Amino acid sequence: MTTARFGVLLANLGTPDAPTPEAVRRYLAEFLWDERVVDAPRPLWWLILNGFILRTRPARVAKGYESIWMDEGSPLLVFGRLQQQALKASLAEHFGEQVPVELAMTYGEPSMETAGKALRDAGVDRILVLPLYPQFSRSTTAAVFDRLAQALKPCPHLPELRLIRDYHDHPAYIDALANSVRDHWARHGGERGKLLMSYHGIPQRYADNGDPYPRHCETTSRLVAEALGLGDDEWFMSYQSRFGREEWLKPYTDETLKSWGRDGVEHVDIMSPAFAADCLETLEELEVENRDNFVNAGGKVYRYIPALNDRADHIALLTSLVETHTQGW
């Protein structure tokens, strides 16, 4: 067996394996039990999660997944596989040799164990972990680290590991985001709306305790606006997907769009730089639910700009990250 110099582990959040209440319940049970995601006292949270949330939420969430489900499966997994394949081809061309690339989810399948076994079978003993989260948060990138450590715990021989913490201000990432906006404008004849950059939220308490996520989001937004040459009144940033009753990062995306609709903003172009691949939070929450919020409040034109997915400039960014972080390997 030929031993590869290193392998790449792409990591993302996860997805149910079917758009059904049963599958969603299994997924949410794992996702919402992670203390990185919800850090409430365990006994109390167990009662809330199992006594209420997992009894009521799965059916509603399953309907959302059903509305976006693709022929090949969950969009997050479909686009993740496309990213995996495209990155593997790009790395082979760049390095002049095959570099194993595996995809793993923090919750659900393919699991860290599945991906780790595939890399081990490829003879890899050096792994670059690339979480597909441009902005660091304890609830995402740190959760990847925890889950990988859990998967490696029973292994008698640990691989050498490097983890990419974030790439929120990487020039190639900013360029890819700006290019996606330009391409969107071009598809619509150059017509431009006010650009809203919406990020997945976290509890404000996490930021108060030192999570750098909001600073990373602010930097990304500013750099994208600068790359596009936008004035201060031509763009805005907000946070979506809040959960529970405590205060999350503000301003909230849904409330922003309702306010804009009432105040006479007629045209919005919306994107989510926090998501490397389209998923429930973009295809259902942003493209559908928040469209209704804006239009019902009086807005006229609302257009969603897709995530970077497997765009060539996105794959070029990931290739650059691998090259930089594997120096010496």
59-74: pLDDT as tens digits: 999 999 999 999 999 9
Q: How far apart are the first and last CA of the chain?
A: 19
- The beta strand positions in 217-266, using DSSP E, are 235-240
Looking at the predicted structure, is the pLDDT value of residue 1 above 70? no
- Give the Å distances, CA to CA, from 82 to 113, 120, 243, 283, 315: 20, 22, 30, 17, 10
pLDDT at 74: 98
Query: Could you give the dihedral angle defined by the CA atoms of residues 304, 10, 162 and 30, in that order, rounded to the nearest 10 degrees?
Result: 90
Is residue 200 a known part of a binding site?
yes
Is residue 184 a known part of a binding site?
no
pLDDT at 4: 82
For residue 202, which amino acid is it? Answer: I
| Element containing residue 33 per DSSP (H, E) | none
Closest CA relative to residue 171, chosen from 316, 327, 10: 316
pLDDT band at 162 (very low <50, low <70, confident <90, very high): very high
* Positive/negative CA dihedral, 199, 200, 201, 207: negative
Inter-helix orientation angle 312-325/171-187, to 10°: 180
Contacts of 76 (CB under 8 A, 6+ apart): 12, 13, 14, 15, 277, 278, 279, 280
Which domains does the chain show, CATH number per domain?
Answer: 7-13+77-166 (3.40.50.1400), 21-68 (no CATH), 171-304 (3.40.50.1400)
8 Å CB contact between 182 and 228: yes
- The residue-averaged pLDDT of 114-129 equals 96
8 Å CB contact between 228 and 192: no
pLDDT tens digit string along 211-231?
A: 999 999 999 999 999 999 999
The percentage of residues in the chain with a pLDDT greater than 70, rounded to a whole number, is: 99
- The residue-averaged pLDDT of 4-13 equals 96
Looking at the predicted structure, is the pLDDT value of residue 2 above 80? no
- The structure's pTM equals 0.97
Looking at the predicted structure, is the pLDDT value of residue 302 above 60? yes
Looking at the predicted structure, is the pLDDT value of residue 157 above 90? no
Task: Enumerate the β-bridge partners of residue 237.
Answer: 197
The percentage of residues in the chain with a pLDDT greater than 90, rounded to a whole number, is: 97
pLDDT band at 196 (very low <50, low <70, confident <90, very high): very high
Could you write out the DSSP letters of every residue in 111-126? -HHHHHHHHHHTT--E
Looking at the predicted structure, is the pLDDT value of residue 3 above 90? no
